[in-house]
Structure 1
Amino acid sequence: MIGRRGLLRGASVLAAGLVVPAAITGCSGGAAATVRLAAGEQGGFYHAFAQLLSHTAAGSGLRIETVTTGGSADNLALLARGAADVALVLADSVADSPDPPPAIGRVYENYLQLAVAANGPIRTVPDLRGARINLGAAGSGATHTGQMLLSAAGFTTDALTRTHLPLREAVTALLDGQLDALLWAGGVPTAALVIPQLRLLDLGALTEPMRERFGYLYDPVLIPADTYPGAPAIHTIGVANLLVAAPTLPEATADALTELLLTHADSLVPAEAAGTQFLDARSLIGTGTVPLHPGATTAYRRHHG
C-alpha cells in the first residue's frame, strides 16, 4: 500500500476551497504547473469534460491545456511519446495493455450510441447487414469497441462497409445518405446527435455477448426517454472512461488533479448530461485493473483514510 507523501505537509488551502499541495505551484515565480490533457473531438463529451476541468482548474495551481484528438487510441499514443501528461481513454482501450498507464480516476460512463436515419429501413442491429457504418474517427476508442460490438453481433469483416470519419463529418454523411449508421461512444446526450432526423438503435441484447466474449468492462445501461428530445428509452452498453497519466507525472501534480476531481465533482459534468453522469469518490476510485497513480492514491487517502 502507498502511504501519504511528505509533500502533503506543505499543502495550502486556496480561496476556492481546493486543497493543493504547495509543491505544484512552481518556483519563486509561483507559476502554475501546466498539464497537457489529451481529450477528444470537439462536440463530444471528452472535449466538453476537458474544457470544464480546465476552467475549474484556473487559479488552483494547475493550468490544464486541452489537446483536441481523435479519441482514446490517439490519446494513449500521445501519452506514450510524451506529448501529453494526462489523457481520457475508454477502459477497454487500456485493459489488455501489459503495462497500462496509471489512473487518476474513473471519471464517467461512456454510452455506445448507434445512430441511423429516423425514417430509414434500419430498425434493429441485424438490419445493419450490408450497411455502410462509421465506427468513429481513426484513433478513437469507438473504433476498437465498435469492432468488438459488430463481432458480438455476428457480423464478419465483409458483412458491412466500415469508415472512420470524425463525429460531425459522420453525422453530415448520414444525413446526406452517404452512410447508413454511425457508432459513437460518449456521454448522453451528445450535442452533435441531438437531431430529429436521427434515431438510436437498442443495443441491450448485445451486452451479455460482449461480456461473455470480451470481459466484464461492458455494462448494461439505460438511456432514459427524452434524453434525446422525443426519443424513447433504450438499452445500450456502457464502458467506463478513465483519466490516466504518464508514469512520469509528478506525484504532487497527480495529487492536485485528483483533489480537483474530488472537490469540484458537481461542476465537472456538462449541464446537458446532468442526471445521467455522476462524479463522486466511490466512482472515481473504481479504475478496475488499472492501478492508481501514487499521487492519486495520496489524495483519495487524505479524503477517505
Structure 2
Amino acid sequence: MRSMIKKGIISLALAVSLPVAANNYTIGTGSQSGTYYPLGGLLAKIWSENIDDFNMRAEVTAASVENVIKVSTKQQLAGIAMGNVVQQAYQGTEPFPRKMDVSVLFALYPNVVQFMVPANSDIKSVADLKGKRVALGAPGSGTRVSALNILKTLGIEEGDMRGQALNYTATTEALANGQIDAGVIVGSLGVGAITELALTRDIRILSFSDEEIAKINQANASYSGLDVDADSYRNVPAFQAPAVWNVLVVKGDLDKDLAYEMTKVAFDNIDTIRQSIGVTKFTTVENMNKLAGIPLHPGSQQFMDEKK
C-alpha cells in the first residue's frame, strides 16, 4: 500500500512539475532567395517568443499554391501567398480542384510581376517572348500561376514559348549563363534574387504598356499597375509592371483567439520586422484587408476593428 501511495505521489509531482510541451507549427514560405522565407522566419520567431505554448518554424516550399493547399488541409498553420492565388483557391478555380477553406489573417505587401532579360536582348515587350526560352516559375508557385495568367490575358499561351519550370535561384542562374532568354520572378520590389543578378549582369525588366495593364486589371481586379523608378535595381531602367498583394493565409476554422493573438503580436512587433524586411512598410492596420473579395479571419477582423 505504501509503495502504491509513494508511486502516486511521484506521478503527481511529475505531472505538476513537468512543463506542458509547446504546440509545434509551421509557416509556409517559398524559395530561400525570395522575400517569403526571411519574412516567414521572422514571424515564426516573433510568434514563438510571444505566444504561450507556441513553437513555429519556417518551411521552404514552392510558395503560394503549395502553401494554400497545406494550410487548408492542416499541414501548415499559416502560409504566405499571392492574393490572386488565394482568390482562385477561395473560388475553387484552376489550379485548385475545389474551393479551399482559407481566410486572410492580414495583407503584407505588393508583389511585382518582373520579366527579366539581358540588357542587350532583342526582347523589348511581353509580345516578343513568343518562341523564346522563358523560365515561368517553379511548379506550384504563385509566380508560375501569375505569369501564365497574365500572358494568357495578353494572348500568349504557354505553348507559344519554350517554357521552363524553375525557381528563383535557378531562373537567375540560367539567365546569367545564357541558358534562357527571359525569366519571370513575381516578388517584392528589391527582391534578393534580382538584386544579386543585377550586381553581376546587365539586365532589363520588361515594361508593360498602359493598354496591357488595363487589360490585365479587367481580367483580374487583384492586379494594378506599378511604376518602378530607374535604378531600383543596379543600372535597370524604369519600368511599369502589374502588381498584386501578398497575404498571410490561415484555415478558415482556425481558433479565433489564436488568430487574434497572432495578429496582435505581429503588429506589436512590426517595427522589428520592418528593420529586417523593408517592404513590410506596407504592412499596416489600414492595409490589413487590402485583398478584395476574401474576408479577414474573424480573429484578425476583431483586432482591426479595435484599432480603428
TM-score (norm 2): 0.82
User: Which residue is 1:55 aligned to?
Assistant: 45
Matches within 5 A, 1:183-198: 183-194=184-195, 195-196=197-198, 197=201, 198=203
Deviation larger for 164-173 or 46-55: 46-55
CA deviations 1:50-93 (Å, max 9, x no partner) are: 12212333420143311110111111121132210111111111
> Residue 189 of structure 1 contacts residue 273 of structure 1 at CA under 8 Å; is this kept in 2?
no
Among residues 90, 102, 111, which one is paired with 2:82 in the alignment?
Answer: 90
Answer yes or no: is 1:255 the counterpart of 2:260.
Answer: yes
For 2:217 and 2:42, how far apart are their aligned partners in 1?
Answer: 32
User: Which residue is 1:202 aligned to?
Assistant: 207
CA deviations 1:142-194 (Å, max 9, x no partner) are: 11111111112222343211111111011111112211111111112111112
Aligned residues: 275
Answer yes or no: is 1:179 the counterpart of 2:186.
Answer: no
> Residue 189 of structure 1 contacts residue 272 of structure 1 at CA under 8 Å; is this kept in 2?
no
CA deviations 1:217-242 (Å, max 9, x no partner) are: 10111222221122222111111111
For 2:187 and 2:244, how far apart are their aligned partners in 1?
Answer: 9
User: Which residue is 2:114 aligned to?
Assistant: 113
SS at match of 2:105: strand
SS at match of 2:175: helix
User: Which residue is 1:73 aligned to?
Assistant: 65
Change (3 A) 1:191 1:157: closer
For 2:44 and 2:272, how far apart are their aligned partners in 1?
Answer: 11
Compare the two structures and name the one with the higher helix fraction. Answer: 2
1:270 Cα deviation from its structure 2 partner: 6.5
SS at match of 1:284: coil
1:30 Cα deviation from its structure 2 partner: 6.5
For 2:277 and 2:81, how far apart are their aligned partners in 1?
Answer: 21
> Residue 46 of structure 2 contacts residue 266 of structure 2 at CA under 8 Å; is this kept in 1?
no
Deviation larger for 233-242 or 259-268: 259-268
Among residues 213, 224, 227, which one is paired with 1:222 in the alignment?
Answer: 227
Kindly provide the amino acid, as one letter, of the partner of residue 303 in structure 1.
K
User: Which residue is 2:295 aligned to?
Assistant: 291
Kindly provide the amino acid, as one letter, of the partner of residue 50 in structure 2.
S
For 2:225 and 2:291, how far apart are their aligned partners in 1?
Answer: 18
For 2:237 and 2:177, how far apart are their aligned partners in 1?
Answer: 24
Deviation larger for 106-115 or 45-54: 45-54
For 1:238 and 1:104, how far apart are their aligned partners in 2?
Answer: 20
For 1:64 and 1:240, how far apart are their aligned partners in 2?
Answer: 24
Segments of structure 2 that go 5 or more residues without pairing to the other structure are 1-17, 92-98
> Residue 37 of structure 1 contacts residue 85 of structure 1 at CA under 8 Å; is this kept in 2?
yes
For 1:296 and 1:181, how far apart are their aligned partners in 2?
Answer: 40
For 2:32 and 2:137, how far apart are their aligned partners in 1?
Answer: 13
Deviation larger for 103-112 or 157-166: 157-166
User: Which residue is 1:35 aligned to?
Assistant: 25
Segments of structure 1 that go 5 or more residues without pairing to the other structure are 1-27
Answer yes or no: is 1:244 the counterpart of 2:253.
Answer: no
- Percentage of matched positions with identical amino acids: 23
For 1:246 and 1:67, how far apart are their aligned partners in 2?
Answer: 17
Among residues 276, 296, 306, which one is paired with 1:302 in the alignment?
Answer: 306
> Residue 39 of structure 2 contacts residue 277 of structure 2 at CA under 8 Å; is this kept in 1?
no
Change (3 A) 1:283 1:271: same
For 2:22 and 2:227, how far apart are their aligned partners in 1?
Answer: 40
> Residue 54 of structure 1 contacts residue 64 of structure 1 at CA under 8 Å; is this kept in 2?
yes
For 1:204 and 1:263, how far apart are their aligned partners in 2?
Answer: 40
For 1:38 and 1:174, how far apart are their aligned partners in 2?
Answer: 27
Answer yes or no: is 1:144 the counterpart of 2:142.
Answer: no
1:33 Cα deviation from its structure 2 partner: 4.7
TM-score (norm 1): 0.83
> Residue 26 of structure 2 contacts residue 78 of structure 2 at CA under 8 Å; is this kept in 1?
yes
SS at match of 1:95: helix
Answer yes or no: is 1:46 the counterpart of 2:36.
Answer: yes
User: Which residue is 2:156 aligned to?
Assistant: 155
1:290 Cα deviation from its structure 2 partner: 1.1
Deviation larger for 285-294 or 135-144: 285-294
Q: Which one has a bigger Cα radius of gyration?
A: 2
